[in-house]
Amino acid sequence: MRYGYFDDEQHEYIISQPDTPLPWINYMGCEEYFGIISNTAGGYSFYKDARLRRLTRYRYNNAPLDSGGRYIYLRDDEVSPPQFWSPTWQPTRTGLDEYGCRHGMGYTIIQSTHTDIRAKVRYFIPLGENLEIWELLLSNQREEPANLSIFTMVEFCLWDAMDDATNFQRNYSVGEVEVVDEIIYHKTEYRERRDHFAYLACSEKLAGFDTDREAFLGAYRGADTPAAVERGSLSNSLTHGWQPIGAQHVRVHLNAGEQRTIIFLLGYHENPADEKFDPPDTQTINKRAVLPTIYKYQNPSEVEAAFEKLQAYWQGLLDTLQVHTPDIHTNRMVNTWNVYQLMATFNFSRSASYFESGIGRGMGFRDSNQDLLGFMHLMPERARNRILDLASTQLPTGGAYHQYQPLTKRGNNEVGSGFNDDPLWLVLSVAAYIQETGDWSVLDEAVPYDNLPGSEDSLYGHLQRSMQYTLDRLGPHGLPLIGRADWNDCLNLNCFSDTPGQSFQTTTNKDGKVAESVFIAGLFIKAAMDMVQIARRRDGEQAAEVFTQASKQMEKAVWDAGWDGAWFRRAYDDFGEPVGSQECLEGQIFIEPQGMCIMAGLGIKDGRARQALDSVAEKLATPHGIMLHQPGYTRYYLHLGEISSYPPGYKENGSVFCHTNPWIMIAEAMLGNGSAAHDYYLRINPSKREEISEVHRCEPYVYAQMIAGREAPTYGEAKNSWLTGTAAWNYLAITQWILGIRPEFDGLRLDPCIPTEWEGFSVERSFRGCRLHIDVLNPQHVSRGVMRVEVDGIGIEGNLVKLDKQGGEYQVLVWMGK
């Protein structure tokens, strides 16, 4: 069953009923001001950091309730008893005669009709501005005039979202607002140490306003039945403490067939510390700098121009890489939605979604490094800066803070530390950046450790320390010690937590000298492949040899202790017993080491990689994707940690943890099995799964972190949509390994591995300042193998196209075959 449909031309998903199984959201903003918006106008806004600079409130534990949002009410002022409704369905949930929500690239349009009054609300954030626009187009489709009232309402958050949700003894006394010339300013704490405020403005004359929540709602009422809307008037309340809101009232008279555009603006502004007040010796906000912006966007033609600019911006980004394959789900995800999701993961890491509260996690170190892998070609400059930000939080030991807060860019241990895989992901992201851009100078950037001035080292020095961090921490089998955990945050082999509620991520951990990770071994070898090439170019063969040797040593350790006979083992626990082995009662085979070790090239020549992938197909693959491990843990194991805290089939305990699936796609592609790679790709492809939306339940246009595994009672149900490494890795798997258009240090490799039935496909891609039009022909219906490559009609040797910084457009023809 579907709840909407794709409009591929417009790059939109159109939701055709408001009560989707879960709120289906979109993101607005791509620079500093951001908003999350659901298909019924739920969500919240923030500046840079969802925890530390939250503009509007949202209620927790809220799916699918979805309360808190950018609310609009329409009221028919002529009927009695009074009739009012929300054109976005929430919060009144009044039946609508027509409803549609279009989630597009950086904007959401919700359109509905009720008693022949048509409303279309367009929500978006103009580029370069710290404000959001709600543009309401009202049309009277009745045969007689209509007298209507429009009310809006947002609930302001007192900036620090965590404190706002918990510290009422203080917060109920600090709220402050100012209303001047019909603009509502929220200025809590502006009187003391904050230099910033929020505002709500409108293009029309107001009939009234409210800033006190109780005055607007009435005591004990919710946003679905505000007393003020029922009554038809606001009371111009000025809140003192309690709950500051912004509510506006506009009256409109519309003749039969008439329509009107009304603009509402919600924004954020920061003043220089010494220019906060105007006049300076008062407590009144200085509005000189912000008013011109407000006036500008009260004008519909400016709003239209800003919208067009946003669309052009996104078109430009999407154009960077466009594909035309025989499969619509591939085209749709690669050309629009997967890229779009990459922007969200780049901007928010795992911090703010409908499953991430915005107060729990900041920018993950391993997460952001992986998110970058798919992002390089879109905005290389921003990718570069992100790499430098991440590296600046690296510790002098080579280890990493697990996360940093976006506002401060300082690493912290709030979601744990000592994850021994963390530093290696930096090598992968830096290598991918150079491969995309050819910009080797990044390696010479001076970057501090732990943001400490004076500790600067070259970025290359950071990479060396990342590698050394692993080598300094090897266990009894010569495999890397796992520390608190590796990629699988829940494989806590040194934790031994027996206290309810204790965080597996932050509780005191054993400084384990026994528990080892085969996964980190694979990741190390993969990182070493990049380091060999980087070192060779920088410092010559001898420098490269160091990494070749380290990698060989690690490979030996994997074959000696990490191979289980038909697949790679996962780890060794604190007692030196294998995890992910036939010997185990539960958790006999795990997906992660199969993917990572094969991506690192292990077993490809001698058939063991094939054997491992056959084991994956037999034991882990389901129609809903590939499960993390099998069998799932049916009880809690003290020595395994959080992984066994989940019921079987959920999250890290054997769900289809989508992030890992593309590793297997890539591995299959490396072995030349394009049909299997693409088949796995389709199993978790959101667009493909759209037809089972009642099972999948999350948005059909973006990847979710997990799909409940075979052992779960809700098998096939997705959770934790949007912010997941799945976005980057799937993008890599399909574009670089299945379609095989892969940046390497010396150029663009063309090495497709596709389903044999495909006749071919074509790709347009920007690469190092050049624009390539690539046509791939597959007349012999092979899965992999390139016979001939022509660039502008001239055959080249091999399948690596070198066009370093030449600029210009190129026609590339690729003949696959034997």
Stretch that binds ligand NOJ, among 130-138, 178-186, 361-369, 519-527 (CB under 6 A): 361-369
Q: Output the smallest distance, CB 405 to ligand BGC, in A.
A: 15
Paired tokens of 532 = 């060999």
Q: Output the smallest distance, CB 628 to ligand BGC, in A.
A: 11
Using CA atoms of 736, 740, 745, 747 in order, give the dihedral in degrees to the nearest 10: -130
Q: Output the smallest distance, CB 493 to ligand NOJ, in A.
A: 14
Number of residues located near ligand BGC, criterion CB under 6 A: 8
Say which entry of ligand BGC, ligand NOJ, none residue 336 contacts (CB below 5 to 8 A, set by partner kind).
none
Nearest residue to 451 (alpha-carbon basis) of 405, 485, 505, 506: 405
- What part of residues 249-268 is at the interface with ligand BGC (CB under 6 A)? none
SS3 category, 99: strand
Calpha distance 744→118 (Å, rounded): 53
Taking CB under 6 A as the criterion, the residue among 176, 178, 489, 668 binding ligand NOJ is: 489
* Per CB under 6 A, 640 contacts ligand BGC: no
Say which entry of ligand BGC, ligand NOJ, none residue 505 contacts (CB below 5 to 8 A, set by partner kind).
ligand BGC
Distance of CA 712 to the CA centre of its chain: 25
Tell whether the torsion through CA atoms of 622, 624, 626 and 632 is positive or negative: negative
* Per CB under 6 A, 264 contacts ligand NOJ: no
Please say which residue, 201 or 643, places its beta carbon nearer to ligand BGC: 643
SS3 category, 621: strand
Say which entry of ligand BGC, ligand NOJ, none residue 487 contacts (CB below 5 to 8 A, set by partner kind).
ligand NOJ
Report which DSSP code applies to 722: S
Taking CB under 6 A as the criterion, the residue among 254, 428, 490, 789 binding ligand NOJ is: 490
Calpha distance 324→329 (Å, rounded): 11
Contact 123, 235 (CB under 8 A): no
Paired tokens of 134 = 């709600």
* Per CB under 6 A, 204 contacts ligand BGC: no
Q: Output the smallest distance, CB 726 to ligand NOJ, in A.
A: 10
For residue 89, report the phi and psi dihedrals to the nearest 5 degrees.
75, -60
Q: Output the smallest distance, CB 366 to ligand NOJ, in A.
A: 5
* Per CB under 6 A, 652 contacts ligand BGC: yes
Kind and range of the H or E element at 665? helix 661-670
Taking CB under 6 A as the criterion, the residue among 651, 678, 688, 696 binding ligand BGC is: 651
Say which entry of ligand NOJ, ligand BGC, none residue 367 contacts (CB below 5 to 8 A, set by partner kind).
ligand NOJ
* Per CB under 6 A, 652 contacts ligand NOJ: yes
Tell whether the torsion through CA atoms of 626, 630, 634 and 638 is positive or negative: negative
Q: Output the smallest distance, CB 75 to ligand BGC, in A.
A: 44
Taking CB under 6 A as the criterion, the residue among 204, 356, 367, 690 binding ligand NOJ is: 367
- What part of residues 713-752 is at the interface with ligand BGC (CB under 6 A)? none
Stretch that binds ligand NOJ, among 95-103, 140-148, 485-493, 586-594 (CB under 6 A): 485-493
Contact 659, 724 (CB under 8 A): yes
Say which entry of ligand NOJ, ligand BGC, none residue 709 contacts (CB below 5 to 8 A, set by partner kind).
none
DSSP string, 404-461: E-TTT--EEEEEEE-BTTHHHHHHHHHHHHHHHH--GGGGG-EE-STT-TT--EEHHH
SS3 category, 767: strand
Exposed e or buried b per residue across 332-361, where buried means at least 16 C-beta atoms within 10 angstroms of its C-beta: bbbbbbbbbbbbbbbbbbbbbbbbbbbbbb
State the catalytic residues: 489
Please say which residue, 376 or 643, places its beta carbon nearer to ligand NOJ: 643
Say which entry of ligand NOJ, ligand BGC, none residue 415 contacts (CB below 5 to 8 A, set by partner kind).
ligand BGC
Secondary structure in 3-state letters for 122-189: EEECCCCCCEEEEEEEEEECCCCCEEEEEEEEEEEEEECHHHHCCCHHHHCCCCEEEEECCEEEECCC
Nearest residue to 701 (alpha-carbon basis) of 355, 334, 372: 334
Number of residues located near ligand NOJ, criterion CB under 6 A: 9
Contact 715, 739 (CB under 8 A): no
Contact 448, 456 (CB under 8 A): yes
Report which DSSP code applies to 691: G
Q: Output the smallest distance, CB 636 to ligand BGC, in A.
A: 14
Residue with tokens 């005591």: 219
Paired tokens of 390 = 């991440």
Please say which residue, 176 or 421, places its beta carbon nearer to ligand NOJ: 421
Stretch that binds ligand NOJ, among 10-18, 487-495, 496-504, 790-798 (CB under 6 A): 487-495
Taking CB under 6 A as the criterion, the residue among 252, 306, 415, 774 binding ligand BGC is: 415
* Per CB under 6 A, 355 contacts ligand NOJ: no
Site string for ligand BGC, 482-521 (x = CB under 6 A): -------xx--------------x----------------
Calpha distance 377→765 (Å, rounded): 9
Please say which residue, 369 or 392, places its beta carbon nearer to ligand NOJ: 369
* Per CB under 6 A, 350 contacts ligand NOJ: yes
Contact 32, 386 (CB under 8 A): no
For residue 119, report the phi and psi dihedrals to the nearest 5 degrees.
-130, 135
Q: Which residue is nearest to ligand NOJ, using beta carbons?
A: 489
* Per CB under 6 A, 364 contacts ligand NOJ: yes
- Those residues with Cβ within 8 angstroms of residue 317's Cβ, 6 or more apart along the chain or in another chain: 339, 343, 378, 379
Please say which residue, 286 or 412, places its beta carbon nearer to ligand NOJ: 412
Q: Output the smallest distance, CB 620 to ligand NOJ, in A.
A: 16
Please say which residue, 73 or 703, places its beta carbon nearer to ligand NOJ: 703
Site string for ligand NOJ, 307-346 (x = CB under 6 A): ----------------------------------------
Q: Output the smallest distance, CB 485 to ligand BGC, in A.
A: 9
* Per CB under 6 A, 421 contacts ligand BGC: no
Contact 294, 267 (CB under 8 A): yes
Say which entry of ligand BGC, ligand NOJ, none residue 569 contacts (CB below 5 to 8 A, set by partner kind).
none
Question: In whole angstroms, how far apart are CA 722 and each of 310, 343, 350, 404, 583?
Answer: 21, 10, 9, 20, 37
* Per CB under 6 A, 371 contacts ligand BGC: no
* Per CB under 6 A, 488 contacts ligand NOJ: yes
* Per CB under 6 A, 690 contacts ligand NOJ: no
Please say which residue, 239 or 369, places its beta carbon nearer to ligand BGC: 369
* Per CB under 6 A, 730 contacts ligand NOJ: no
Q: Output the smallest distance, CB 160 to ligand BGC, in A.
A: 20
Please say which residue, 677 or 723, places its beta carbon nearer to ligand BGC: 723
Q: Which residues bind ligand NOJ (CB under 6 A)?
A: 350, 364, 366-367, 487-490, 652
Q: Which residues bind ligand BGC (CB under 6 A)?
A: 361, 415, 489-490, 505, 642, 651-652
